[in-house]
Chain A
Amino acid sequence: MEKLVACETCGLVQEVEHVPKGSIVKCARCHFQIFHRRPNSRARTLAFSIAALLLYFPSNYYPIVTADYQGHIIHTTIFQGIQGLWTQKQYFIGSLVFCTSLLTPALKILGLIFLTLTLNSTGWEKTRTWVYKIIRLIDPWNMLEVVLLAMCVSMVELGELATIHPGRGVFSFAAVVVLTLLATLSFDSRLLWDSPAERKHYE
């Protein structure tokens, strides 16, 4: 097995001896954490993905916005918002919102859970590569949500006509976004091509 590790922070190549379980390795120069493979990567990815999956349901079931138009209280979920955009003939924005807020988070969460759960089983290598490719492909599109939100706010411009309160859905959705981000960050793609023996060694 490789004994040399380059620090990702200061670039110092150094020797790493046997790492007992439950320990972390720190760079000799800059004291940042160094590793062969991201430590605890599988467990972390799984934990964050499961948390994101759990919160995905309330984020879509509960309203993201509660608008109070002079006594008319209107709850809007993400899906109702997409339907609204669609009926207003905003097809492009509608499908963009659908992709970035409904489709991609779900795909990403399920993909990461699939990867972490099947990592030790042989015969899935090709599928795993494909799943990881898809995750990499949709990852940057998730960032579009912020832009879309800004766009929607400027489009709606309700001003004094209505009072708008954030619903439960928006908090759950924010948590989903953060958790999927953490899950992708903690996934070490090198695990995909490690042999089971190597994986065992690095873990």
Chain B
Amino acid sequence: MSEKIHGLPKAKVEKSYFTWLLWLVPLAAICLCGWFIAEDFLFSGPTLTIYFSSAGGLQKDDSLVKYRGIQIGQVQSLDLAPDRQRVIVRTKLNRSARNVARQGSIFWIVSPQVKLGSISGLQTIVAGDYIAVRPGDGARTNVFIGAEQEPVKPIPALDIILLAEKLDSLQKQSPIFYHEVQVGEVLSCQLGNDPRHVIVHARIREEYAPLLRANSKFWNAGGINFHFGLFSGAQISAESAQTLVSGGIAFATPPDFQSAATNGTVFQLYEKEDDSWKDWNPYIPLPAVTAMTNQKDLPPLDSK
């Protein structure tokens, strides 16, 4: 347009600021990406490598690591170890749970279990197996050997050994009774070096430990006792319904009781009760039981 056109209005020219604000947009995008990366790599929890002999029902990107009922991590990958003897499970822990990964921590896989006398892990039927952990208190580490099953809780207790002629129906977790109250359980049963005896490892709960004395007598209370007397007729008795299926042990302490049994004391496990033991009923105070029923204080919360 070379020639001048008259009579047209003139547009207004104004100063414009803030054009530089435009570059905040890519800057914001960079910040967002940086935040994602930081959260993934810097602020994320550790990746643990756990060796299991079998991965059970674990699934990649799906199975959880749980502690005290909450999710603290997730399984990222499942691989076979080069020697084909183990499975390598890589799990990503939440940052808040990073203190769980310490030397001495025990990881195991929880799957549904139906046994005589107990059913556990039912929630895993729907939600799938998960990895549970009992944290240790050693130094931080990221490599663990997984346990085959849930480790026995280290509750204060009295561990004893019983020698039996034969196992009868005893098995792991069979109850131990005193006056028909369960005071302990069987930990394991095995043949000893001397195969004439069965070695039964048993545990008496701490608060009932004073009941057990060096001269206490143990007998097998499992199954059904069937007596047939000429004058008394037939007598059928059982310690409890549970012992019918899972077996059980009972013990009695004589009135002239000796010193309290200590860890690792060996007792003979008799096949059945002697009639004289029935009348034994010594007075032994149980201070731990009273202490427990009066307990009002809650345990202190774990600090991070």
Contact = CB atoms under 8 A, between A and B. Distances in A.
Interface residues of A, number: 46
Interface string B5-25: 100111111111101001101
Contacts of A54: 26, 29-30, 32-33
B132 to A, nearest CB: 14
A55 B9 contact: no
> What secondary structure prevails in chain A residues at the interface with B?
mixed
A40 B19 contact: yes
A16 interface: yes
Nearest to A176: B29
A172 B261 CA distance: 68
A70 B126 contact: yes
A13 B32 contact: no
Interface string B35-46: 010000000000
B16 A23 contact: yes
Given A4-B5, A72-B62, A51 B29 contact: yes
B12 A40 contact: no
Interface in A17-62: 17, 19-20, 22-29, 31, 34, 39-40, 43-44, 47-48, 50-52, 54-55, 57-58, 62
Nearest to A24: B16
B14 A26 contact: yes
Interface of A: 2-5, 12-17, 19-20, 22-29, 31, 34, 39-40, 43-44, 47-48, 50-52, 54-55, 57-58, 62, 70-75, 168, 172, 175, 179
Given A48-B25, A50-B26, A55-B33, 12 more contacts: A4-B5, A12-B9, A15-B8, A28-B9, A29-B9, A47-B25, A47-B26, A51-B26, A54-B26, A57-B33, A58-B32, A58-B33
